[in-house]
Amino acid sequence: MKQTLQYRVLPYNRYSSFYQERESFYRSFINQYYLDFAHQMLSQEHYEPTLTKSLIAPQDIQFGSSPRRVVWKIGMPSFQVKDINDFKDHKILFYRTKLLKQKVLIQFHFIEGFFYYSQLSFLTFTESTNNILFDSIRSKYQCPTNVEQQDKLVMMDICNNKLIIEKGVYLTVSYLTGDSHPRELMRAQLSRQYDLLSKADNYEIDKLSKIL
């Protein structure tokens, strides 16, 4: 039976090319994401953040939630990846959508199934987008009226969870947990890495001394 156009199977080479192009889009966001960077990001202290009485939770998803909980709340991700670069027991869920008629990428990061970080990135944005976003966050988190719009604003709730609005190449809203558990897991991984590097260096030095 002759195939009609709407049911024709996409040739393998075209399908492979499409998948690689799609994957490279997401990879471009995680190529620089390493364990030491994530640990430093969670450990970083911000000078005089704006305090809010409202609990910071992206899309009302509490920090510490599992990937299953996020999928149940939002739906299946556009893309997901685990154990990236030197990061073990780590997973990222990516969602692509549109907000304010602009292209948006949303990330949810987990370590050992613990949700600890999220970022919402406007891939394209206008000054109007920036103004509406800032006003919406200021309203939701009940910011003091004297808080003015700026290129970077850090907010913190009573649990030390942080929300960071930053305008750069992309307009981003980052959410970081104040819970120490993810930092401790990362610190343990960093310690194991240092031990392995130290053993490798000692092995090379010992090998050199035997040759000389």
Encode pLDDT of 193-208 as tens digits: 876 665 555 546 555 5
Q: What is the pTM of this model?
A: 0.80
- Cβ neighbours of residue 40 under 8 Å, at least 6 residues apart? none
Out of 3.30.1450.10, 3.20.20.140, 3.40.50.1110, 3.40.50.2300, the CATH code matching 25-211 is 3.30.1450.10
Sketch the domain layout of the chain as residue ranges: 25-211
Q: Residue 25 and residue 27: Cα distance in Å, rounded?
A: 6
Residues facing residue 176 across a β-bridge: 117, 162
**pLDDT: is 1 or 167 the higher one?**
167
Which string of b and e fits 163-180 if b means at least 16 CB within 10 Å?
Answer: bbbbbeebbbbbbbbbbe
Average model confidence (pLDDT) across the chain: 82
- The arithmetic mean of pLDDT across residues 85-89, rounded, is 85
**pLDDT: is 133 or 29 the higher one?**
133
Condensed to tens digits (0 to 9), the pLDDT of residues 112-130 reads 999 999 999 998 888 888 8
Condensed to tens digits (0 to 9), the pLDDT of residues 124-164 reads 888 888 889 888 888 888 876 666 667 788 999 999 999 99
- The arithmetic mean of pLDDT across residues 184-192, rounded, is 92
Question: Pairing mode, if any, of strands 152-156 and 162-167?
Answer: antiparallel
What is the rounded radius of gyration, in angstroms, for the C-alpha atoms of the chain? Answer: 22
- Evaluate if residue 192 carries a pLDDT over 60: yes
Amino acid 121: pLDDT: 93
